């Protein structure tokens, strides 16, 4: 039997989930979405052929409730609808920073909750999604959540205590990657390349390096060393990156993202 999924919240992440489920063959008739703005609902209904409903109807009709609202909006939403979630429902949270305990406290006793962190490459079926079991979530519930997100890319199961680190590394990770590629393009232009050429060179290099890293199974340090000839151009460039503190800057950035995820959880208690 195909489950009915209701996506609460139709922002970027909510739409990513809806679009990915449809691409994977999930029937549009088994997908519901809730929105704050009527025009956004009309846009999604026209684009994907799915039903736009009120929160109460979504909770009533769906057996999987995917929460894709902003974390700061989740408290008020679940204070309203949480007690109405009936037996046999699964709640899947995509809210950065919010623990499964946060939802469990607002749901009927025994309601299973699974916490998920995915990222925007879901748009091209190359997401990295981490899944964690919360209160009352069984292996079957994890299998179901995994089935929802596997079509969007790769999945991994982690203990929930690691989810803030996941958020910092892969949830926010595409933004770090885009910043580096953007800087490479600008540097190429500064060195005299046409912008379009610089863009093509940087993006294809990034793609090739990523696929090679994934498929070779080699440690990134070994792949880096294979490109670096003694006293060569790459060695000169890497020296400058190390001199400018790229490693500690990345560590500080990820720690800041992890700490902000923890702050969000603390603010929502």
Predicted local distance difference test score (pLDDT) of residue 37: 87
For residues 179 and 250, state if they share a domain: yes
> Token pair for residue 148?
């929802």
pLDDT digits (tens, 9 = 90+) for 116-125: 999 999 989 9
Helix axes 195-216, 220-227, angle to 10 degrees: 130
Mark whether 45 and 83 lie in a shared domain.
yes
* Residue with token string 């046409």: 194
Domain boundary among 106, 129, 163: 163
- The reported pLDDT for the residue numbered 86 is 82
**Structure letter (DSSP) for residue 167:** I
Q: Are the beta carbons of 4 and 62 closer than 8 angstroms?
A: yes
Question: Would the pLDDT of 163 be above 90?
Answer: yes
Residue 139, both tokens: 């292996």
Query: Distance between CA atoms of 21 and 34, rounded to whole angstroms?
Result: 16
Number of structural domains the chain divides into: 2
Asked if residue 27 and residue 146 are part of one domain, the reply reads yes
Average of per-residue pLDDT values in the chain: 93
Encode pLDDT of 218-254 as tens digits. 999 999 999 999 999 999 999 999 999 999 999 999 9
**pTM for the full predicted model:** 0.90
**Would you say residue 12 has pLDDT above 90?**
no
Residues 152 and 196 in one domain: no
Task: Give the pLDDT band (50/70/90) at residue 87.
Answer: confident
Same domain, 38 and 152: yes
Specify the pLDDT at position 254.
97
pLDDT digits (tens, 9 = 90+) for 15-43: 989 988 898 888 999 999 998 888 898 89
Dihedral pair phi/psi, residue 70, rounded to 5°: -65, 140
Range of the structural domain that residue 71 is part of: 5-163
| Per-residue pLDDT at 200 exceeds 90 | yes
- Residues 86, 197, single domain; the answer is no
Domain boundary at 141, 163, 185, which?
163
Confirm if 64 and 33 have CB atoms less than 8 A apart: no
Report pLDDT for 130.
97
193 & 142 share domain: no
pLDDT of residue 269: 64
Answer with the one of 102, 137, 163 that is the final residue of a domain.
163
Q: pLDDT higher for 97 or 216?
A: 216
pLDDT at 133 > cutoff 90: yes
């Amino acid at each position: 039997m195909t489950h009915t999924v209701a996506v609460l919240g139709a922002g970027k992440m909510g739409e990513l989930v809806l679009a990915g489920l449809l691409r994977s063959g999930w029937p549009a008739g088994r997908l519901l979405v809730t929105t704050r703005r009527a025009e956004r609902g009309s846009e999604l209904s026209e684009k994907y052929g799915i039903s736009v409903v009120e929160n109460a109807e979504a909770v009533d009709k769906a057996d999987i409730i995917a929460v894709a609202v902003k974390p700061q909006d989740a408290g008020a939403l679940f204070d309203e609808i949480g007690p109405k979630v009936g037996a046999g429902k699964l709640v899947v949270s995509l809210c950065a920073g919010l623990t499964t305990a946060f939802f469990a406290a607002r749901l009927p006793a025994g309601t299973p909750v699974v916490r998920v962190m995915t990222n925007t490459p879901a748009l091209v079926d190359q997401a990295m999604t981490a899944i964690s079991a919360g209160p009352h979530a069984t292996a079957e519930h994890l299998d179901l959540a995994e089935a929802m997100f596997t079509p969007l890319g790769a999945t991994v199961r982690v203990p929930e205590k690691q989810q803030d680190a996941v958020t910092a590394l892969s949830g926010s990770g595409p933004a770090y990657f885009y910043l580096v590629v953007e800087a490479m393009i600008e540097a190429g232009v500064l060195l005299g390349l046409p912008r379009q050429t610089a863009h093509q060179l940087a993006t294809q290099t990034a793609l090739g390096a990523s696929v090679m890293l994934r498929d070779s199974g080699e440690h990134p340090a070994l792949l880096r060393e294979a490109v670096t000839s003694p006293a060569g151009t790459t060695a000169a460039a890497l020296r400058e990156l190390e001199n400018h503190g790229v490693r500690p800057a990345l560590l500080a950035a990820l720690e800041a993202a992890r700490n902000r995820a923890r702050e969000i959880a603390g603010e929502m208690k």
